[in-house]
Amino acid sequence: MMYDYPCPETRQRVRLGWARGLAFALGECHPDDASALCAAYLDERAAGMPGFDPWRDIREDARFWADCARPAELQHYACAALHRLQGVPMGLGMRKRLFVSIWRSFTDADRRAFLARLGTDGQFQGGSA
């Protein structure tokens, strides 16, 4: 993408055109699709892009508060957050980071036991985990 135009007026007109096009496209999308696209975009921007980024401190703040919490609090916050995230549009990157964080919390034995309960169709076998 090119953001450097010869004069400020051209740059401003082009940016306005792209913003209007984006607003139109989001308005024409199914609300679930538009929400997922916006969530994925904001998640990418929150991952520490250089320069001014109002989302920059979210992960750092979360780590700080997690360091202050007792184990029981961590469990309840994590469960409440996962429950709250049901049905919330999230980008694939967000879902993968959640899965990887949970996976890394398991011991090697727990991981093997979990994988042993996956059927060839990828479905969990034998009731609840």
Q: Where are the domains of the chain?
A: 8-103
Classify residue 7 as exposed, middle or buried by CB count within 10 Å of its CB (0-12, 13-18, 19+): exposed
Least-confidence region, from 13-22, 37-46, 96-105: 37-46
pLDDT for residue 23 is more than 80 = yes
Classify residue 55 as exposed, middle or buried by CB count within 10 Å of its CB (0-12, 13-18, 19+): middle
**Mean local confidence (pLDDT), 27-50:** 78
Rounded distance between C-alpha atoms, residue 56 and residue 50, angstroms? 9
Name residue, tokens 């090119």: 2
pLDDT for residue 55 is more than 80 = no
Classify residue 40 as exposed, middle or buried by CB count within 10 Å of its CB (0-12, 13-18, 19+): middle
pTM above 0.85, yes or no: no
**Mean local confidence (pLDDT), 61-84:** 86
What is the average pLDDT score of the chain? 81
